[in-house]
Structure 1
Amino acid sequence: MILYPAIDLKDGACVRLFKGEMSQATVFSDNPAAQAASFVEQGAEWLHLVDLNGAFAGAPVNAEAVEGILAATNVPAQLGGGIRDIATIESWLSRGLRRVILGTVAVRDPDLVREAARLFPGQVAVGIDAREGMVAVEGWAETTDITVLDLARQFEDAGVAAIIYTDIERDGAMQGPNVAATAALARAVSIPVIASGGVSSLQDLAALKETGAPLNGAISGRAIYDGKLDIAEAMELLRG
């Protein structure tokens, strides 16, 4: 399993939201590039980036901050938020991103996801964000009538690299991930699943690992910023 330290970008700064509410953002750094470099120095082998403004705008907003992160680090990074057409995907991948994450567009235009996965093998992931088991879109502002599993199964044969599964009610709340739902999803589909939302301690990572489900890794943000989760210790646990 891989640990993905999260850098959520709002108005050019690194923030963490509470349960996805833009009005409840805590700013942790106004220098995303330096923050990313610090995570890498601590042992991070991947970075998880989110353009929060972009998720609402439907187009990239924090591009300057993302480019700064890519210039300051030498590890692969994945980015979600406001990526909703092939041109934007191609643009980001050409600038050095290893993987793009498609969320809202996976619901609105699943054929685009399939086309992107065909054009850019191994570089397209699907972000599935859930509120009480139902998929949420548009920066989590709208909850659909589509279940997590129904959406995930649409892409079983598409060649997507991963599914990032986030339980919105756990995100930023430091209450632990939804272990049961995450493990169930990982067992139900052949696509590698990355756990997100609420991962706040070594115990949380151990709980995910101990399910025995074929998880690719876990994303954590606030706990790393707060010093409650040490990247090097987390990496050692996940490798062991």
Structure 2
Amino acid sequence: MKIFPAIDIKDKKCVRLVKGDFDKKIEYEMSPVEQAAKYKDHGFKNLHIVDLDGALTGETINLDIIQEIVKKFDLNIEIGGGIRNLESIQKYTDVGVEKVILGSAAIKDKNFLKQACEKFPNRIALGLDAKDGYLSISGWKENSNQLTLDYLNDVNDYGVSRLIYTDINRDGMKQSPNFEGTVKVADKSNCPVIISGGVSSILDIKKAKEINNKNIEGIIVGKAIYDGDIILDELVKEVNA
């Protein structure tokens, strides 16, 4: 079970949103590079980064920060947030990012997802952000009117190398992830799945590890770390257990 500590970047700072709401933003004192250093020092190998500026603008706003983190710490990084064209994917792969996460653009245009998977084999992750079974897009502001499992069925053979499933109702709420929903996605998916949204304590990590599904690759942990509900030393033990 891979554990992905999360860094959400907005205005060059580490932040966390509640259910993706930019009006409910909490800023933290540590810079993204300092936070990445902390994760590296504790022995983590994987990192989940969301460029919230990118999500709002569709540009690779914080590419310099991502590049600095890759160069300094040699972490396996997955990056998402407003990636809407092949050029942006190229920029991130050029600086050494392991996986580029496509979300809204891939849901709105399946052909874009297909092209990306063909041009960047084994580098494309698909972010499926769901609310009440339906996929949300555009920073979670719009309902796509597409059922998550129906969409997955349509794109399952495109060559996506990782799937990140987030239950929006749980994100930033620290009410435990939607394990049941994630298992349903993992059962259907042709690629490994990451659990995302709602991790509240080390017990959620233990529960994730107990799920009897070989297709679940890992779990993302964000707000619970920043708020001190999960101690990094404890989390690292679960990586190595």
Calculate the TM-score normalised by the size of structure 2.
0.94
Alignment correspondent of 1:51: 51
CA distance in 1, matches of 2:199, 2:232: 12
* 2:146 is the counterpart of 1:142: no
Alignment correspondent of 1:175: 175
Q: Name which of structure 1's ranges 153-162 and 4-13 shifts more when overlaid on structure 2.
A: 153-162
CA distance in 1, matches of 2:70, 2:210: 33
Residues 43 and 232 in structure 1, CA contact (< 8 A), matched pair in contact too: no
Alignment of 1:197-236 (within 5 A): 197-213=197-213, 214-236=215-237
Alignment correspondent of 2:196: 196
Q: Which runs of no fewer than 5 residues in structure 1 stay unpaired?
A: none
CA distance in 1, matches of 2:30, 2:12: 7
CA distance in 2, matches of 1:22, 1:127: 19
Tell me the number of residue pairs that the alignment of Structure 1 and Structure 2 aligns: 240
CA distance in 2, matches of 1:178, 1:235: 22
CA deviation map 1:58-91 (0-9, x unaligned): 2222223322322331111010011111111011
TM superposition outliers: structure 1 runs of 4+ over 6 Å: none
Alignment correspondent of 1:16: 16
Alignment correspondent of 1:119: 119
CA distance in 2, matches of 1:191, 1:236: 26
Letter in 1 for 2:19: K
CA distance in 1, matches of 2:42, 2:231: 8
Q: Name which of structure 1's ranges 110-119 and 166-175 shifts more when overlaid on structure 2.
A: 110-119
Q: CA RMSD in A?
A: 1.5
Letter in 2 for 1:215: I
Alignment correspondent of 2:92: 92
CA deviation map 1:98-134 (0-9, x unaligned): 1100001111111111111122111100001011111
The sequence identity of aligned pairs, in percent, is 38
Q: Which runs of no fewer than 5 residues in structure 2 stay unpaired?
A: none
CA distance in 2, matches of 1:72, 1:33: 9
Alignment correspondent of 1:60: 60
Residues 42 and 236 in structure 2, CA contact (< 8 A), matched pair in contact too: no
Residues 44 and 231 in structure 1, CA contact (< 8 A), matched pair in contact too: no
CA distance in 1, matches of 2:17, 2:27: 9
CA deviation map 1:128-177 (0-9, x unaligned): 10111111111111111001111222221111111101111111111110
SS state at 1:175 partner: coil
SS state at 2:220 partner: strand
CA distance in 1, matches of 2:199, 2:114: 30
Letter in 1 for 2:198: G
Residues 16 and 223 in structure 2, CA contact (< 8 A), matched pair in contact too: yes
